[in-house]
Amino acid sequence: MKKMAIIFSAFAIGSLASCNGSNSSKETKTDSTSTNSNVAAADTTSNHFIPDKKNFETTIDGKKTDLYVLKNHNGMEAAFTNYGGRIVSLVVPDKNGKMTDVVVGFNSVEGYQKSTEPYYGGTIGRYGNRIAKGKFTLDGKQYQLSINNGVNTLHGGKKGFQDVVWDANKLNDSTIQFTYLSKDGEEGFPGNLNVKVTYSLTGDNSLKCEYEATTDKTTVVNLTNHAYFNLNGEGSGTILNHTVQIYADKYNPIDSGWIPLGPIAAVKGTPFDFTTPTTIGARINDDNQQLKNGKGYDHNFVLNGTKFDGLNHAATVTGDKSGIVMNIYTQEPGLQFYSGNFMASKNTFGDGSKDVYRTAFAMETQHFPDSPNEPSYPSTVLKPGQVYKTFSLYNFSTVK
């Protein structure tokens, strides 16, 4: 595995240490020259993957939307829109140096607005994943959230962070910062939550995702991004032959509503054992109740603390055709692996292909689902005076 050029710095989280997977932080060099020979030889003509900026220039809820393009010196590019703080495109070289868009998405704001799947590429909040029956209690007071997933709350409610227009500030060629004020009572959550999310491309071909938030009232927070990946490229077909390794010895079994069911369980001897590289499709159709409950893989994996430069090494995914390798590193304690089980050819991506069943997957770094109702899980509580701060890296290289 290729060593990443990362510069460390420390930040203080104070009494919020329990709200993050790690108290250590590091700053990653952005927009520097890579030593990866595959990257150096890459065909950098990737502009055809970036949608027309005009397709993202409109007004939603009285705020203007736009498209922002980031680049590094290796030819890696990424496009974002402030509608939902979304990743629209992420272009990296494959094993032959051919530029490949590994994030599926749409070529207009309208495409995201009309999609039957609302989460493509979106920044997720105020609480990523599910909260049982949309209820939790803080400081003796019970809160009722909006219900949008059966009897439960998913990804922040009926209008989560993926459906709002963020304020955008492009800091430099390789960094975009989104900010949003989630007002007290929005979707039922307490407290005015000031959120800042910074996405940057680094010199070693990583996408760095930094999340920060403060509140004026005790609340719960679990921020992540919901990019849908196909490492062979958008429109390239099934992801079932991608190879996955997840650095987790345990996972959260779920009930039929995707709420954690009983204690955390060992992956050994189950279809959820990705401790060694295994294709996504190898066991996805096994006669297993958890696979039936999730309609495939749609579970939180409890990271086992395997470290890489101070971060939890969450997963390694390899595209079978492209040879593109994605390593995920995070301060978070969990990783939600979703195998595209509800993709149903109802939406048309930017390249003209349909979102066919299991042609993309998501890997969301996060705290555990329903943590506000499970005291044994790492806490997601944020109090006034504390700072929620966490980051994750999605690093791209190619097979040797």
Residues that are catalytic: 226, 364
Helices (H) and strands (E) in the chain, counts: 3, 31
Query: What residues have CB less than 8 Å from 118, skipping those under 6 apart?
Result: 112, 160, 162, 163
CB 359 within 8 A of CB 240: no
Radius of gyration of the chain (CA): 19
Query: What residues have CB less than 8 Å from 287, skipping those under 6 apart?
Result: none
Neighbours of 113 (CB within 10 A): 15
- Distance, in Å, from the CA atom of 70 to the CA atom of 199, rounded to the nearest integer, reads 9
Write out the DSSP string of 208-271.
EEEEEEEESS-EE-B-EE---B-TT-TTS--STT-EEEE-EEEE--B-TTS-B-SS-EE-TTST
Residue 254: what residue type? I
Neighbours of 91 (CB within 10 A): 24
- Distance, in Å, from the CA atom of 2 to the CA atom of 221, rounded to the nearest integer, reads 33
CB 340 within 8 A of CB 358: yes
- Torsion-angle region of residue 155: left (phi > 0), alpha (psi -120 to 50) or beta? left
